[in-house]
Amino acid sequence: KQEVTQIPAALSVPEGENLVLNCSFTDSAIYNLQWFRQDPGKGLTSLLLIQSSQREQTSGRLNASLDKSSGRSTLYIAASQPGDSATYLCAPFGSEKLVFGKGTKLTVNP
Amino acid sequence: DGGITQSPKYLFRKEGQNVTLSCEQNLNHDAMYWYRQDPGQGLRLIYYSQIVNDFQKGDIAEGYSVSREKKESFPLTVTSAQKNPTAFYLCASSTYIPASSYNEQFFGPGTRLTVL
């Protein structure tokens, strides 16, 4: 059974800082991994999808890496802004479904 | 404007009542999903459907039912058998290409259900 762990559970940083969110998963038999953002009381917004054959995927200030063999993914946010404050969720996709971690709650202080 | 809509945004139910949550998508996606989110927990899969007129149980299907009569629609019924239905319910959709790394899930805005 796939289990997903996200560390840290919460993170508070000053504006402008570069930061890394970590995601680990126990079953490496995955097709892809998605990173999502969730604002309070809202649905999930897909940020990045990394295919199992890829090592990295970039979108603007976001860069996600995937090491499938070791069961790890990281989300790098460059030059953080207060608007980046949200909960970030990672979810590997395998066996027909996404499995979610509990997320990292990020606060970027002006 | 393509996307996924869920209604209502807020729903209140008395104990013993069944309620149905709506999910509609105009993305021409084959697959649709229902998740439940509780405070401090990750999203958990309730049901999913990869094709019209077919669906499968997820990890927490007990007390829920679904139908998939149209490609665009995947309503979820929360029955009185669901012991603790108060939660935030999220619907998602994706393309369905078997054994593919390209299937990306997109989510609706959610329905918050409260049992009184």
pLDDT digits (tens, 9 = 90+) for A25-46: 999 999 999 999 999 999 999 9
Q: How far is A77 from chain B (nearest CA, A)?
A: 21
Q: What is the pLDDT of residues B102-112, one digit of tens each?
A: 889 999 999 99
B90/A4 touch (CB, cutoff 8 Å), yes or no: no
**Is pLDDT of B113 > 90?**
yes
Average pLDDT of the segment spanning B48-72: 96
Q: Is the peptide bond before B98 cis (omega within 30 degrees of 0)?
A: no
The alpha carbon dihedral of B45, B46, B50, B56 has a sign of positive
Q: How far is B109 from chain A (nearest CA, A)?
A: 4
Average pLDDT, chain B: 94
pLDDT at B1: 59
pLDDT at B98: 82
Share of chain A above pLDDT 70, in %: 100
pLDDT at A62: 97
Provide the edge-to-edge strand list for the sheet that holds A19-25: A4-7, A19-25, A72-77, A62-67, A56-59
B10 touches chain A (CB under 8 A): no
B101/A51 touch (CB, cutoff 8 Å), yes or no: yes
A104 touches chain B (CB under 8 A): no
Average pLDDT of the segment spanning A50-63: 95
Q: What is the pLDDT of residues B71-107, one digit of tens each?
A: 999 999 999 888 899 999 999 999 998 878 788 999 9
A51 touches chain B (CB under 8 A): yes
Residue B28 to residue A103: CA distance in whole angstroms: 29
pLDDT at B99: 79
Residue A58 to residue A60: CA distance in whole angstroms: 6
